[in-house]
Amino acid sequence: MKINCKGKLIDLSTPKVMGILNLTPDSFYDGGTLKSDKDILTKVDGMLADGATFIDVGGYSSKPNAEDVSEEEELKRVLPVIELLVNKYPNILISIDTFRSRIAKMTVSTGACIVNDISAGNLDATMFTSIAELQVPYIIMHMQGTPKTMQVNPTYTDVTKDLIFYFSKKLNALRKLGVNDIIIDVGFGFGKTIEQNYQLLNNLDLFQNFEVPILSGVSRKSMLYKALETTPNKALNATTVANTIALLKGSSILRVHDVKEAVEAIKIVSLL
């Protein structure tokens, strides 16, 4: 399984790591920690050195009950950083974490090569056609509601069956538009109870039937730290356990705060 990033074919038969670069002041784990260009470059240097294939740049916090951020503010946060990173690392593979088509277009023209959309087109009616024009890999995630409302009594008939139906419709619509490289993300923590998150993790292998790469983002999330009655800061070991399960269930990309540990999990699982 391969995706085309900037004309470079990335082979996902060996899973890859996507390092998280949060440019928001209020993200649940590391919000507000990057205060200067030097901080950003130091962080990205570390993630690339530890083995990240992709860097996921985000300027809109999507934690539960997150406040809305204007398009202008989001753009102000991400565009200069993408320029900074492309200048420093000409071959870097940047994913832009946005649900807005205008920001997707502007950041791709600046150097991003993947669009990571938490809403799978539901929050911007022109996103799908924009992706078809851009012809970049597109990550579609499942989220019930919006970041502000998603954890208000999430309800499903059967969470796994509901998501399989959801992705079958999305994939069909995107393929009709000529989008080639599509990656699915079940959206752990996005409009799901702890029990629903673990049902999805346990059934993740069923999503391999779509024959597209699966991205998993469980890093330091509440499904882990609440289950252990701890905090995001103390959830690294739990993250590695969940990442390992995700790999065994067929994940091709791990989206993480801690790159080194995710790369190590991939290496160990590959020995099986």
Active site positions, annotated: 221, 255
Burial class (CB in 10 A: 0-12, 13-18, 19+), 163: buried
Could you tell me the two tokens for 21? Answer: 């670069």
Q: What number of H helices and E strands is found in the chain? A: 9, 10
Are the beta carbons of 242 and 218 closer than 8 angstroms?
Answer: yes
CA–CA separation, 127 vs 79, rounded Å?
Answer: 18
Are the beta carbons of 180 and 136 closer than 8 angstroms?
Answer: no
CA–CA separation, 105 vs 82, rounded Å?
Answer: 13
